[in-house]
Structure 1
Amino acid sequence: MQTSLPVAVAAPDSSVPALPDVFRAAPTSLRALGRAVRVILLLALGISVLVNPQALHSWKSFAITYAYTVMYSTGLWLTNGYVVEWLNRRYAWTVQPGRRVLLTLAVSLGGSLLVIVGMNAVLLLIQGQPLARLWSGQMYWQVLMPLIITVIVSLFNHSRAFFFQWRDAAVRAERLEKESAVARLDSLRRQVDPHFLFNSLNALTSLVEENDPARAVRFIRQLSQVYRYVLDSESQELVPLAQEVRFAESYLYLQKTRLGDALAVEMDLPPTALAAYHVPPLALQLLLENVIKHNTAFQANPLHVAVALDAATQTLTVRNTLRPRRLAPGESSGLGLKNLAARYAFLTDKQLAIGEEAGEFVVTLPLLEL
């Protein structure tokens, strides 16, 4: 039995290398359990050869060394695997990381200490020595050194586990935020389309009530072309400004069919200056729609609207005579400009400018470049 004494000193120190694999979460399937057992057995074999190569000359000595190393590694694996897995279910790293670190240290330190003392006690019993030697100065370093190494390896592995959990949580949060933003943007975009259709149908109703079938038919054809643009741009976050201007001109044609000379529009938009810029779909149409809906227009006193592009500031400004009219209940949701501002917020840090200047209502749209 004396040939195994070197093992009693070396085994606690040298069985620690099994910890990197052992310290991971406890296996959740038989296959994972079998893999963990194989890892422990193979590592214990290598450690046994390294710490006590002389035992290779005696199968009995080697069997004792190997059994001791296997039990030592298994004890640490159970302590730092299943117990820490229990902590994972109750105290997540991402909720209270400071508290979790302290709990992990306490569990790892206390459990490993029990394993180390227990294995040294087993070794003393095998050697026929009294257990009182556990508290002697001779056993001090045999307990303290492997305990320090165990804590260091435990901290490394749990720090690694914390990093991966934190990274996964950050990825999930980013994905959730992106999906939420896309969903809100889609919701805002869908709020524009029914609003435009509702007002167009109101205009068509007026033509029908005026008993003018020819203009009504022409209006329907123009409306179909306009609404085709609405449907085609529904899935796009940005459209070329030139395309949006052509759509706005078609929209104004529909409105002038209904209002006649009561609506006067000036558009200072050089075609060569439009090519470089983009805007959210229906942005310009929404501003024109708001002008017509919220202001009075008469043949003798037309509603003036001016649309101008400023290449220096990269903005598009829509200004109109401020002549507010009383709206019927339910005619306006009050969400038009708010939705447009929200859509811009998803796309850029540039903001809409909305205000009144010298009796005019002015809205300035930032132009975006791709």
Structure 2
Amino acid sequence: MSASALRLPETTLPPLLAPRTWLRVLMLLLLLSVVITAFSCTQCWGDWERLLITFIITFAYSTGLWLTNGFAVDWLNRYASWKENLTRRLVLTLLVSLGGSLLVIVAINAAYRIILMDATLASLVSKPEWNGYAFPLLITVICSLIMHSRSFLLSWREALVRNERLQKEMAQAEAETLRQQLDPHFLFNSLNALTSLVEEEPQLAVRFIRQLSQVYRYVLDARGREVIYLRDELEFAESFLFLQRIRYGEALQVTLPPLNSISPQAVVPPLSLQLLLENALKHNVATPSQPLQVSIELDEAGRHLRVRNSLRPRRVAPGECAGIGLPNLTGRYRHLTTEPVQIASGAEEFVVILPVLQLVNSE
């Protein structure tokens, strides 16, 4: 089972021009300009004025081309990731880098000829002038390949590290979910409630046993799945709440959305609602005079499931709560979608908003 949001969050590479790198880059560009000037204009060594002009032009080319290709890498990393579409990124890289570099070369060459050689605009586009663009473009291609190859390798390494971290978090989340699924306290409380029902209300005891079997059947079916249909999750919540109502009676009041309002393609991580319902029961006082109010609502667009409960905190015994239920749920969602789980605690209620994912048609 796959969902439309089953994708890794985008990685964000470090800023291209961080303040600490400016001096280092400037020194590198100066050194590169000196080396190119020294080897490309050996006849200038005896003419300091010509040598200085050549150095200035070379430095202008180096700086302009570096900034153009550097910003191109930074921009493309944000809007055209290597991971999403390799071919599209490669084509955009060639167009943006070569196009931007050509503009820089033309601009610097035009400024040099107009300022120092009194050339006209018409002469700048004549055929002989274009021959002078070949060498700078060749250097551009080499520099562009180096910079974009570095960008690709950084993106690839970042994706590997993030994927490994997410797999580790998912394994930990699954282990914790399994532990919670087989919580002996839930079974112990259910058997205690069943014992009293067998003696006092045998027919209700039969229904209780059926609902308990459905709960554990759902737990077994959900094991190993990343997502499950929201309709199935709500039906499971009804069975789970039936068992809890036997224990709490009028002290627990829950409203659920109608199943016919749920999209057939809507999915959520399995046992999400059980975790939130258990948290509400575990952390709040519930009495017939002050019942615990729990509301599960689906927004009009069907994209978010809001679970809210009245807030009447009770003292939790040490060791009774490990405080890892919500981080577990958040970790599972982080593995499935970039949209976060929203958690808000006010003076009177506690609210958790879960993103509702949609299945992708495999056809």
Q: Which amino acid aligns with 2:235?
A: R
Contact 2:284–2:312 under 8 Å retained in 1:
yes
Q: Distance in 1 between matches of 2:162 and 2:300?
A: 32
2:185 paired with 1:202: yes
2:126 paired with 1:168: no
Q: Distance in 1 between matches of 2:217 and 2:270?
A: 15
Q: Equivalent of 2:143, from 159, 170, 174? A: 159
Structure-2 change in CA distance of 1:262 and 1:252 (3 Å): same
2:250 paired with 1:266: no
Q: Equivalent of 2:240, from 234, 251, 254? A: 251
1:352 is matched with: 342
Structure 1 range deviating more: 210-219 or 282-291: 210-219
Q: Distance in 2 between matches of 1:171 and 1:364?
A: 32
Structure-2 change in CA distance of 1:153 and 1:306 (3 Å): closer
2:218 is matched with: 226
Q: Equivalent of 1:329, from 297, 300, 318? A: 318
2:170 paired with 1:186: yes
Q: Percent identity between the aligned chains?
A: 29
What TM-score, normalized to structure 2? Answer: 0.52
Structure-2 change in CA distance of 1:221 and 1:294 (3 Å): same
Residues 154-203 of structure 1: CA deviation (Å, up to 9, x unaligned): 734641442343233343244235415633651563265045235x3112
In the TM superposition, what is the alpha-carbon distance from 1:279 to its structure 2 partner? 2.8
Q: Equivalent of 1:295, from 252, 265, 284? A: 284
Q: Which amino acid aligns with 1:354?
A: A
Q: Distance in 1 between matches of 2:167 and 2:290?
A: 44
Q: Could you say which structure has the larger radius of gyration?
A: 1
Q: Distance in 2 between matches of 1:300 and 1:152?
A: 83
* SS in structure 1 of the partner of residue 344 of structure 2: strand
Q: Distance in 2 between matches of 1:335 and 1:212?
A: 32
Structure-2 change in CA distance of 1:332 and 1:239 (3 Å): same
Alpha-carbon RMSD across the aligned residues, in angstroms, is 4.6
Residues 100-136 of structure 1: CA deviation (Å, up to 9, x unaligned): 44444545555677xx89xxxxxxxxxxxxxxxxx99
Contact 2:295–2:307 under 8 Å retained in 1:
yes
Q: Which amino acid aligns with 2:344?
A: I
In the TM superposition, what is the alpha-carbon distance from 1:314 to its structure 2 partner? 4.5
Counting only pairs closer than 5 Å after superposition, residues 82-121 of structure 1 correspond to structure 2 as 98-107=26-35, 110=38
Structure-2 change in CA distance of 1:354 and 1:169 (3 Å): same
Structure-2 change in CA distance of 1:211 and 1:248 (3 Å): closer
Q: Equivalent of 2:271, from 269, 274, 282? A: 282
Contact 2:257–2:296 under 8 Å retained in 1:
yes
Q: Which amino acid aligns with 1:321?
A: S
What TM-score, normalized to structure 1? Answer: 0.51
Residues 271-315 of structure 1: CA deviation (Å, up to 9, x unaligned): 221125333333222211111111233467643333233325754
Structure-2 change in CA distance of 1:222 and 1:260 (3 Å): farther
Q: Does 1 or 2 have the higher relative contact order (CA < 8 Å, sep 6+)?
A: 2
2:294 is matched with: 305
Q: Distance in 2 between matches of 1:154 and 1:162?
A: 13
2:352 paired with 1:363: yes
Structure-2 change in CA distance of 1:190 and 1:315 (3 Å): same
Q: Which has the higher helix share?
A: 1
Q: Distance in 1 between matches of 2:304 and 2:136?
A: 60
* SS in structure 2 of the partner of residue 182 of structure 1: helix
* SS in structure 2 of the partner of residue 212 of structure 1: helix
Structure 2: stretches of 5+ with no match in the other structure: 1-20, 59-131, 199-204
Structure-2 change in CA distance of 1:203 and 1:369 (3 Å): closer
Contact 2:344–2:351 under 8 Å retained in 1:
yes
2:195 paired with 1:212: yes
Structure 1: stretches of 5+ with no match in the other structure: 1-92, 118-134
* SS in structure 2 of the partner of residue 325 of structure 1: coil
Residues 215-262 of structure 1: CA deviation (Å, up to 9, x unaligned): 7976874453132143042xx2x43321221222233244345x2515
Structure-2 change in CA distance of 1:181 and 1:239 (3 Å): farther
2:306 paired with 1:317: yes
